[in-house]
Structure 1
């Protein structure tokens, strides 16, 4: 059973989410919080496996709460569920350790599946965010973290973060689908990830791709 803590300052939304989640046989809501500060307290009491976290809340926002929670509970899964599709919110959340990022316009079934995916060690990112991640592909200094990737693998990585399919990557880089699959497999192995969503999160957290300047 996946134990979930709901963190959102809107009671109607919490009630709706709770009803939806508890219809799933493998998910149970063990607690609720109306702020990031209260979330820190509830984690001690409820011992959840995963937190469904809003961003804009009183007392302490979801990003700051994520940062503190990940320091104290590194294995705790945190799924951001927010109305904000701004790049700066997404990247701040990922950098502070969020395991997934969904927008509140996501279907309820997608939220349920995201919770299941995170509980298995996978990651989930709203398609809108993956497409908005990169604004420019230039003027990035190499960091020690990406030295293990070849130049071609770095190009493929940028395409993965953009959300391109293998076919689209092949068309952009003028290589075959089979070659793309080989590069993707090597990237997964070198970065120790298991899914495309995890690639995006790893790339953002370790600054392996050019990011829009923070405001």
Structure 2
């Protein structure tokens, strides 16, 4: 059972999400918070596996709260659900440790599936955010760092940027899920990142992926 905490200052949205999630057998909403400060207080009480986090809230933003929670409770996954589609918000959230970033225009089934994906230890990025990042950095003159990735690791990296799951990567590259996990682990270590979302930012900023990916 995935224990989930909702953090959003709009009661209507929280009620709607709760109603949707309560229909899922593997998801349990264990608490709600109406602000960033409220989330910091209630997280100990609710003990969630995942927090569905808004960005624009009173006092403390969701980005700031994400950073605080990730330092205090590194085991908790944080999936940002926001109306903000600007890459600055996205990159800030990922740098603070968010495990995923969805826009509020995503259909409910995608939100539910994103929760399950994050619970499995994978990351979720709204497709439009990947496109924005690729477009935003297309004209940047950023030199590639010597990451020493093997050809196979580069293939896996391209798949990660496209948002493919381990199973999908295994199918595309005709390798086992276990082998994919090994490659992903090595990529994380070489790029000094902690999540798939951070991999995307690093890869785009340092032009490690072709610009057409995600378009």
Name structure 2 gaps, 5 residues minimum. Answer: 165-171, 175-179, 190-194, 207-215
The counterpart of 1:191, out of the listed 187, 190, 198, is: 187
Distance in 2 of aligned mates of 1:120 and 1:152: 24
SS in structure 2 of the partner of residue 67 of structure 1? helix
Instruction: Using the TM superposition, give the Cα deviation of residue 153 of structure 1 relative to its aligned residue in structure 2, in angstroms.
Output: 6.2
Task: Look up the match of 1:110.
Answer: 110
Pairing partner for 1:209 from 198, 204, 208: 204
* Match in the other structure for 2:31: 31
Counterparts in 2 of 1:87 and 1:155: CA distance versus 1, 3 Å:
farther
Stretches (4+) displaced over 6 A: none
- Counterpart for residue 130 of structure 2: 130
- Relative to the length of structure 1, the TM-score reads 0.76
Matched-pair contact (CA < 8 Å) for 2:21–2:29: yes
Deviation at 1:142, TM superposition (A): 4.2
Does the 8 A contact of 1:149 with 1:187 survive in 2? no
In 1, the alpha carbon distance for the partners of 2:187 and 2:132 equals 22
| Cα pair distance change 1:208/1:130, threshold 3 Å | closer
Note if contact 1:130-1:200 (Cα within 8 Å) is conserved in structure 2: no
User: How big is each residue's C-alpha offset from its partner over 1:128-169, in whole Å with a ceiling of 9 and x where there is no partner?
Assistant: 1111112234522444xx5232589669846863x399xxxx
TM-superposed CA distance for 1:202, in Å, is: 2.2
Q: When the two structures are aligned, how many residues end up with a matched partner?
A: 190
- Quickly say closer, same or farther: Cα 1:160–1:72, change in 2 above 3 A: closer
Task: Give the corresponding residue for 1:20.
Answer: 20
What's the RMSD between the two structures over aligned residues?
3.1
Taking structure 2 as the reference length, the TM-score comes to 0.76
Give the structure 2 partner of residue 79 of structure 1: 79
Per the alignment, residue 173 of structure 1 pairs with none
* Equivalent residues of 2:18, 2:29 under 8 A apart: yes
Contact 2:125–2:163 (8 Å) recurs in 1 = no
Mark the CA change 1:35 to 1:11 in structure 2 (over 3 Å): closer, same or farther.
Answer: same
